[in-house]
Amino acid sequence: MGISLRRFDGRDKMAFNEAQKRAIRHFKGPAMVLAGPGSGKTTVITHRVKALIEERGVDPGSILVITFTKAAAAEMKERFGALTENRYGRVGFGTFHAVFFQILKLAYRYQASDIIREEERTALMRDLGATPFQALRKVILPEIRPGMISGFILAFTLSIDDFAVTIFTIGNEGLETLSTFIYADARKGGLTPELRPLSTIIFVTVLVLLIVINKRAEKSKS
């Protein structure tokens, strides 16, 4: 293989580990890479795209790199350009929304004005005689339900991860998180009375924040 595995990009010089090398060298079939923040995912992706072009002969216009945010897409494009000296400008970088909108725009000649916004959908429901509760139940909740479920799963998973890492590295002594605090109290024979007002404070704080955010959104719309 002619792939350079001795540097991350123009800013850092650092050797790739074996997992990163396998991700870069992989060619045929799907591949899933699981890695945490700061572990070099962007660097691996940019080197993988470079390897696909230079070592595998893949057409740069056939490569599409999708991420979640504009900032991440811009950074990845910038770092890929620095890595390859901007020789492969046809590689596509973008977010899910931007890429899918481009597909609608090119295939069906959609414009931004053709896509109805959430507030417009709610207003349309009201014009059709729906009450705010019906609009919430029929339009808004179905739209945000996947995000709510994903957020719950993510929060639950991160809580377990935080708890497991803390317990198995330092135990109950030293750094204390909310999950380890509750765990330690439960092991003593039940939750102490201090935890009840704590959970109430957290709930009330979140509720107040949601009310304030919604009120401000209503004022800005009006």
111-138: burial string, b at 16+ Cβ within 10 Å, e else = eeeeeeeeeeebeebeeeebeeeebeee
Backbone angles phi and psi of 95, in degrees to 5: -90, 170
Are the C-beta atoms of 92 and 64 separated by less than 8 Å?
Answer: yes
Backbone angles phi and psi of 174, in degrees to 5: 95, -130
Q: Rounded to an integer, what distance in angstroms lies between the CA atom of residue 115 and that of residue 101?
A: 9
Average pLDDT score, the chain: 79
Give every CB contact of residue 81 below 8 A, 6+ residues apart in sequence.
Answer: 89
Closest among 44, 6, 8 to 25, alpha carbons compared: 44
Task: Give the pLDDT band of residue 90 (cuts 50, 70, 90).
Answer: very high
Per residue in 34-53, pLDDT tens? Answer: 887 778 888 999 999 999 99
Per residue in 7-35, pLDDT tens? Answer: 444 444 558 889 899 999 999 888 888 88
Task: State the pTM of this model.
Answer: 0.51
Per residue in 108-163, pLDDT tens? Answer: 888 877 777 767 776 777 777 777 777 777 777 887 888 888 888 887 787 777 66
Q: Rounded to an integer, what distance in angstroms lies between the CA atom of residue 24 and that of residue 44?
A: 6
